[in-house]
Amino acid sequence: MSKQKNVAIVGASGAVGVEMLRVMERRNFPLGKLRLLASPRSAGRTLEFRGKDVVIEPLGINSFEGIDIALFSAGSQISREFAEVAVDSGALVVDNSSAFRMSENVPLIVPEVNAEDIRPHQGIIANPNCTTAITLMALHPLHRAFRVKRIFASSYQAVSGAGARAIDELRHQVEAIAHGKKSPPEVFPHQIAFNVIPQVDSFLDTGYTKEEMKMQNEGRRIMRLPRFKASVTCVRVPVYRAHSVAVSAEFERPVGVREAADAIRKAPGVQYLDEGYPMPIDCAGKDDCFVGRMRIDCAMENGLSFWVCGDQLLKGAALNAVQIAELL
C-alpha cells in the first residue's frame, strides 16, 4: 500500500483497540487521518500514536465521514448497529466481533490462510475468533500437507480475551487473596485467580459453548472444508495474555512428525520449536504463533497431537485486523 488511508478505530479504549494502535504504528501503516471512537464514558481521553496524543471521540452516526477503513472492536451489538453506517459513509469495515462471521456475503479472513477470499466483499470483512485464528495458524499448514478431517482440542484462554475489565479482575483477585481478603467475581462466573473455568461464552443446547463451536464453524469457512469437524473444550485460565490450544488432529494421509514440523516451518506467521515448548509468558507480545509438543497421536489413525500458543490480542485480534486492512 502506498496511498495513505484515513482510519477509524471503534472501541479504541479497549484492550484490542489499544493494540490496534500499537500494531499500526509498529508496522508503519500508511495512515492519513486517524479517528479514535468509543463510548461516551471514554470520550475525551487520549491515546498516544506516533508521539502525539489523539483524543477519543464518542461514536455516532456521523463518525465515519471521510474514513477509508474502519476497524471495529467494540462487541457484536455495536458492530450490528454501526458497521452498515460506516459502509454507507464509504468506509471498508474490518470487524473483530462475531456479528458477521457466518454471513455468506462477508469474507472471514486469516491472511496467511485465505487472503484470496477477501474479494468479492460488500464492504465488511470479518476477523475470526481468536482461538480459531491461533489454532488455524498451525493446523492449516498441516492440512495442506495431510488433509485434515477432524480435531479434538482444549483451549487455555487468557483473561485478556474477555477485555480490560477481565484483566483487572484477575489482578484484583490475586492481590486480595494474597492478603487474605475476598474479591467476588464480576466479569467471570467464578473466581479466576488460582482457578480454571471450563466455560467460555454461553452454553448451547448441545452442551457445547458458543466459543467451542466457533472452531468448527469458522474453520470450515476459512479452510473451505464443509465437512471439517472439531470437538473443543474452551477453558479460561489465570493467565493475563496469550492463548494456548492442545490439538489432536486426524488426517486423510499418513502423517510423520518430521514432515509435519517441516510444513510448519515453511508457513508464514508460525514457528516450530525444536526444543522445549511455547508458553503464554514467552508468546505474549509476539506476532507469530508457536508450535511444540508435536507427536504421533496414539489414539487415532493418521493422527497428530501438538500444542500451539499465540498472543490472542495480536494474531487473534488486532494484528489480524491490521493485516486485513493492509490487504484492502
Is 130 a catalytic site residue?
yes
Sign of CA pseudo-dihedral 292, 298, 304, 308: negative
Type of residue at 16: V
The string of pLDDT tens digits covering residues 10-52 is 999 998 999 999 999 999 999 999 999 999 999 999 999 999 9
Q: What pLDDT does residue 283 have?
A: 97
Would you call 315 exposed, middle or buried from its count of C-beta atoms within 10 A (0-12, 13-18, 19+)?
buried
Reported in sequence order, the residue ranges of the chain that DSSP labels E, i.e. its strands, are: 5-10, 31-38, 46-49, 52-58, 69-72, 92-95, 124-126, 148-157, 229-236, 243-251, 270-272, 289-296, 303-310
Sign of CA pseudo-dihedral 170, 216, 74, 114: positive
State whether residue 185 is helix, strand or coil.
Answer: coil
The string of pLDDT tens digits covering residues 223-247 is 999 999 999 999 999 999 999 999 9
Residue 210 pLDDT > 80: yes
Residue recorded with cell 476477523? 127
Closest CA to 13 of 162, 187, 158, 164: 164
Query: In the chain, what are the domains?
Result: 5-127+318-327 (3.40.50.720), 132-312 (3.30.360.10)
Is 190 a catalytic site residue?
no
Catalytic residue among 130, 234, 289, 309: 130
At 174, the pLDDT band (50, 70, 90 cuts) reads: very high
Between CA 276 and CA 293 the distance in angstroms is 8
**C-alpha torsion angle, residues 75, 76, 82, 87 (rounded to 10):** 110
Integer angstrom CA distances of residue 140 from 67, 80, 121, 136, 192? 34, 30, 23, 5, 32
Q: Which three cell numbers stand for residue 180?
A: 487474605
DSSP string covering 207-275, please? Answer: S-BHHHHHHHHHHHHHHT-TT-EEEEEEEE-S-SS-EEEEEEEEESS---HHHHHHHHHTSTTEEE-SS
Q: Which three cell numbers stand for residue 40?
A: 461516551
Catalytic residue among 143, 243, 283, 289: 243
212-224 burial code (b ≥16 CB/10 A, e <16) = bbbbbbbbbbbbe
The string of pLDDT tens digits covering residues 127-161 is 999 999 999 999 999 999 999 999 999 999 999 99
Q: What pLDDT does residue 1 have?
A: 44
Q: What pLDDT does residue 120 have?
A: 87
Q: Which three cell numbers stand for residue 49?
A: 500514536
The string of pLDDT tens digits covering residues 54-88 is 999 999 999 999 999 999 999 999 999 999 999 99
Q: What pLDDT does residue 206 have?
A: 98
The string of pLDDT tens digits covering residues 270-319 is 999 999 999 999 999 999 999 999 999 999 999 999 999 999 999 999 99
Q: What pLDDT does residue 2 have?
A: 54
